[in-house]
Amino acid sequence: MNVVLFGATGMVGQGALRECLADPGVARVVTVGRRATGEHHEKLREVVVPEVADLSAVEGELVGFDACLFCLGVSSAGMSEAEYTRLTVDLTIAVARTLLRLNPGMTFVFVSGAGADGSERGRVMWARVKGKAENAVLGMGFRAAYVFRPAAIIPLHGITSRTRWIRAATTVLRPAFPVLRAVFPNHVTTTEQLGRAMLKVAREGYPKPVLESRDIVRV
């Protein structure tokens, strides 16, 4: 399987990249983003672009893929709904349209978040916007498309978040991780589990298009 990965420098994307490189069933991985990850591996190619929403200059690098793992995401803190929509919905749609045109047989896996609002009508801004992005991806016409809604994510293998408050919370809660996983097994996953689950679903599919945290753990 050939995989293209967006958001490889974020916490979820780092986990996905690690599992792609470790998985013998993944032949080629291309990461796309505004920064390189710094990883070096024989099956890894990194494509750095100034603006992820505009992939016209690198389309030649984006052909021949079986799956996209879309792990890009930003915090809505301090953002207007219009700006958060631009970075969450518009950017995702722009990337997905390009990939679908170049790879009509592709499976698209979109990482959202627990609590996303698929009705797009709820009172919580970030949840409405995430739900809009989810619906756009699911209705775009990929061979298969899946939405992952992880809840609490424990970073493993030295992986860290680029978001300051998440890094701080991780540091404080790290001693309690074993207890949290034992008490809330369906609501806590790890970057390793999440990466492996994305790859397995991209390969084998899943009975429903939206995977909540309990589904991710089960996979």
At 147 the pLDDT is: 98
Going by pLDDT thresholds of 50, 70 and 90, the confidence category of residue 162 is low
Mean pLDDT for 170-190 is 68
* pLDDT at residue 165 tops 70: no
> In 3D, which of 103, 38, 112, 117 has the Cα closest to residue 68?
103
According to the model, what pLDDT value does residue 156 have?
A: 87
Distances (CA, A) of 190 to 14, 24, 73, 130, 163: 12, 21, 17, 21, 17
Kindly report, residue by residue over 9-43, the tens digit of the pLDDT: 999 999 999 999 999 999 999 999 999 998 999 99
Q: What is the DSSP letter of 205?
A: -
Q: Cα-atom radius of gyration of the chain, to the nearest Å?
A: 16
Alpha-helix residue ranges (DSSP H) falling in the chain: 11-22, 81-85, 91-102, 125-138, 164-173, 177-183, 191-204, 213-218
Q: Please, which residues have CB within 8 angstroms of residue 56's CB and are 6 or more apart in sequence? A: none
Backbone torsions φ then ψ of 4, nearest 5 degrees: -110, 135
Query: Cα 19 to the chain's mean position, in Å?
Result: 13
Other beta carbons less than 10 A from residue 205's beta carbon: 13
φ/ψ of residue 40, rounded to 5: -130, 125
Provide the pLDDT confidence category of residue 188 given band limits of 50, 70 and 90.
confident
Strands 210-212 and 152-154, how do they pair?
Answer: unpaired
Predicted local distance difference test score (pLDDT) of residue 7: 96
pLDDT digits (tens, 9 = 90+) for 39-92: 999 999 999 999 999 999 999 999 999 999 999 988 888 899 999 999 999 999
The CATH class for the domain spanning 2-218 reads: alpha beta
Q: Give me the mean pLDDT over the 92-107 stretch.
A: 98
Cα 160 from chain centroid?
A: 15
